[in-house]
Amino acid sequence: MRGEPVNVHGTAVVIATTGLLFIGPSGSGKSMLAHACIASALARGVFAALVSDDQVFVSHRNGHVVATRPDTIKGLIELRGTGIATLPSVRRAKLDWAVLPGSLSEMERLPPEDEGFEVMQDVILPLLRIPSESPAPLDHLARFVPFLGL
C-alpha cells in the first residue's frame, strides 16, 4: 500500500467486474452519468453498484487501485436538480478506469492517446472521456471497455 487513502472528489461504481471512477469539476455530470450506467446495467441483468458519490477514498493495495466509501453515505447518490437517491452499493471495489465527462461542444474531436488520470501520487488510471449529454453512456463506454459485461 502506498501511504494513506486519498479523498477524491468523484463517483465510483462497479459494472460487472469493472471499476469506474467518474471525475471532474462539480456540476460536470459525474453522478448523473454514473447513475445512468448503473441503471442501464441493472436493466440488462448485469451486476452494477455504487461504491461512493462525492467522496471516494482511494488507496493503492497489492498493485491495484481500490475505492472505498465512507459508511455515512452508503448507497447515496446526488442527482443534481432531483435530489438524493439510493442505489445498490458495495463498500469497496478495484478501480480500472477513470471517466471524465465533458460538454460535447467543448471536447476535442479525438482525445490524446493513452491518456491517464493520476489518482494519487505515481498511481495512474487509464482515462476515458465521455460527453455528459450521451444518451446511452454505458453503451458509449462499452465501445472502449469491452469487458464491461455487455
Q: Domain spans of the chain?
A: 6-148
The fold for domain 6-148 equals Rossmann fold (3.40.50)
> Residues 85-103: what's their mean pLDDT?
95
pLDDT tens per residue, range 15-33? 999 999 999 998 889 999 9
Position 1 confidence tier, pLDDT thresholds 50, 70, 90: very low
Which pTM does this prediction carry?
A: 0.94
DSSP 41-105: HHHTT--EEEEEEEEEEEEEETTEEEEE--GGGTTEEEETTTEEEE--B-SEEEE-EEEEEE-GG
- 76 within 8 A of 85, measured Cβ to Cβ: yes
Handedness of CA 91, 138, 146, 64 (dihedral sign): negative
